[in-house]
Structure 1
């Protein structure tokens, strides 16, 4: 595994949270929701996009776990969480989370992170998320992911 430390961090964070996962290394890239769905054999909507933002005033790391088919309405989300969102560059994402863009996982961050999960993911029996590298993923259920991350359920679209 090229990003062994990142996938190990995801595995360890899942274990600490009581989340049983099997990290799968795919032969092809799973960097985008479409690539991940093709590799996992599921709908794009069942892919968890882990999008990193910073709070404009708090400078907190804010993680949005979004259905693969949805585009985040940043203004609507900002209104719902009470703070504007700032898009960090790739270097800042890596420095603040420990993950490179394309392998950002829903857990295993190197710093305190505020986590919100897309209400549209909750309807699925199973979902797939990145596991710390551009071709590693794991399957879980929305309820288990909410428990493991402490995520608040939020509408991500307008």
Structure 2
């Protein structure tokens, strides 16, 4: 286990998260790669994405099957503008690299929203602070450990014909 993964594992233990960090020999560059490697649905991958929301960090934990609609999210959260953060901003806000950001283990708490679609899966897999590591958890546990708010990261689909 490398030092980033050990540090993340320690954080999970302090938060009383029972899931074990799983390390892979190679990086998991996409949610689809992670789902394939884990043998789970794409929607069960919990992507930890950092955005700038009115110049503050915002952690969006989104299902791998969803794209984050930043305009929808800004309206929902009452913010002027939400946009993708730069890799430098992500590292400064989380202490973790893009592609390896976990839902916890950051230098200070981040405002967090958790995609409601993740609740459709008994087990979801989230990043564990490194590009090659993930851990099993649940939607409810993600909300608990992050202090996050459950939201729809995409607007509801129109049901009109």
**Larger RCO, structure (CA 8 Å, separation 6 or more):** 1
Residue 55 of structure 2 corresponds to residue 63 of structure 1: no
Structure 1 unaligned residues grouped into runs of 5+: none
Please list the CA deviations of residues 96-151 of structure 1 after superposition, one character each: whole Å capped at 9, or x if unmatched: 11011110101111122011100100121000011111111111111112111111
Structure 2 unaligned residues grouped into runs of 5+: 156-161
Aligned to 2:158: none
Aligned to 1:73: 69
Please list the CA deviations of residues 34-61 of structure 1 after superposition, one character each: whole Å capped at 9, or x if unmatched: 11001111011100111101221xx332
Aligned residue runs from structure 1 range 110-125, under 5 A: 110-125=107-122
SS at match of 1:86: strand
CA positional deviation for 1:87: 2.0
Aligned to 1:157: 154
SS at match of 2:126: strand
Aligned to 1:10: 8
Q: Hey, what's the Cα distance between the residues in 2 that align with 1:15 and 1:60?
A: 28
Larger radius of gyration: 2
Q: Hey, what's the Cα distance between the residues in 1 that align with 2:11 and 2:113?
A: 17
Question: Does the C-alpha gap of structure 1 residues 132 and 149 become closer, same or farther in structure 2, counting only changes over 3 Å?
Answer: same
Q: TM-score, normalised by structure 2?
A: 0.89
Indicate if the aligned counterparts of 1:50 and 1:66 stay in contact, CA closer than 8 A: yes
| Number of residue equivalences | 154
Q: Hey, what's the Cα distance between the residues in 1 that align with 2:127 and 2:154?
A: 21
Deviates most, 103-112 or 13-22: 13-22
Q: TM-score, normalised by structure 1?
A: 0.91
Q: Hey, what's the Cα distance between the residues in 1 that align with 2:43 and 2:82?
A: 23
SS at match of 1:65: strand
